[in-house]
Amino acid sequence: MKVLVTGAGGFIGGHLARRLLQQGHEVTTLQRGHYPGLESEGISTIRGDVADSTAVIEAIQGVDAVFHVAALASVWGPRADFERCNVLGTQNIIAGCRHHRVSKLIFTSSPSVVFDGNHQQGIDEQTPYPPRYLAHYPRTKAIAEQDVLAANDARLATVALRPHLVWGPGDRHLIPRILDRARRGKLKLIDAPGTRIDATFIDNAIDAHIAALDALSVGSACSGRPYFIANGEPMPAHQLIGGILEAAALEAVAPSVSPRLAHTMATVLEWFHSIPGVSGEPLLTRFSASQLSTSHWFDLSAAKRDLAWSPRVTTEEGLRALATEFAGKKELLR
């Protein structure tokens, strides 16, 4: 099958493109940067922006399925940037699929599209979108997800996957930030007893995307629906972060900041970084403070039923794989 993967320069997109290639698919990728590593592995790469409708139309020509992974994933930044990449970019992908009569569109979404600032314990896909969001990222991803699901019809089958906190070897976003702050003594964890989170090891996230490709067709059980994806192992956030630190041969950090203090700090920091002329990203935002002080774990039964998917790599196994990666890159541990 000929497939297009957007955002293959990123963590999920890159792993997905390589897995598809290993399975014998003809893979083309669309991303803004130049990644010669993908080309050297036999993947056809196109350099372009999903917000450029012409580039999208050209990239989708001749493919049978599209994985739309590209997104601006950040807790801070100008509203217009999120609108351009996450909303307009997704609309361009949908239009490109229709223009070339592509029959399958798999969208990488996020559980944050239904986060309302409260605990999410065992929630399923019936959970509604909230009336307000604390950041541009979840708001624009929610708009994009709804656009993708609404596009499902008799010619184009669509599905949205919501993997939560994807981590593992090769991550250049979440884990490096954790390790950098830990090394500088600036990693502070929120002390919220009883809260649990369920993250997603990279292999499990990629398995879900492959399963969606296999299960998706016009009129299938998964068409037009969203699905939560995770490891199925809810645990305290400090336990998972501690495991990541241990894999990198760093000392664990005990939770020490109260939720109230975290929210106060986030509000002040956001105000300061909103002052004209102040650059950079706040050390903590209201969205991050709310995420870190509440539970996030999900009912995965719908994905298991409709996609014939289940998490096959445990958190313990994932941490061992991470430790192996770090052991081969000793310069990262200095």
Our answer to whether residue 129 is catalytic in this structure is: no
What percent of the chain clears pLDDT 70, i.e. is strictly above it?
A: 98
Mean per-residue pLDDT over the chain, rounded: 93
d(CA 252, CA 237): 12
The pLDDT tens digits for 44-96 are: 899 999 999 999 999 999 999 999 999 999 888 999 999 999 999 999 999 99
Residue 149 main-chain phi, psi, to 5 deg: -70, -35
All domains in the chain, ordered by first residue: 2-167+200-230+297-312 (3.40.50.720)
Tell me which of 35, 133, 137, 227 is the catalytic residue: 137
What's this model's pTM, rounded to 2 decimal places? Answer: 0.94
> What is the number of helices (H) and of strands (E) in the chain?
13, 11
pLDDT at 205: 98
Record the tokens describing residue 199, joined without a space.
């993250």
What pLDDT, on the 0 to 100 scale, is given for residue 48? 94
The pLDDT, as a whole number, for residue 331 is 44
**Cα–Cα distance, 24 to 47 (Å, whole number):** 23
The pLDDT of residue 332 is 42
Average pLDDT of the segment spanning 252-277: 88
**Mean pLDDT (whole number) for 9-30:** 95
In this predicted structure, the answer to whether residue 22 has a pLDDT above a threshold of 90 is yes
**Nearest residue to 290 via CA among 168, 132, 65, 87:** 132
**Is residue 8 within 8 Å of 18, Cβ to Cβ?**
no
Model pLDDT, residue 68: 98
**Distance separating alpha carbons of residues 226 and 242, to the nearest angstrom:** 31
- Put residue 135 in one of left, alpha, beta given phi > 0 → left and psi -120 to 50 → alpha: beta
**Where does the pLDDT of residue 297 fall: very low under 50, low under 70, confident under 90, or very high at 90 and above?**
very high
Is the Cβ–Cβ distance between 227 and 298 less than 8 Å?
A: no
Instruction: Render pLDDT for 200-238 as a digit per residue (tens, 0 to 9).
Output: 999 999 999 999 999 999 999 999 999 999 999 999 999
Structure tokens at 177: 């930030």
Residue 186's pLDDT band (boundaries 50, 70, 90)? confident
pLDDT at 293 over 70: yes
The pLDDT assigned to 333 comes to 36
In the DSSP assignment, the letter for residue 174 is: H
In whole angstroms, what is the distance from residue 99 CA to residue 54 CA? 12
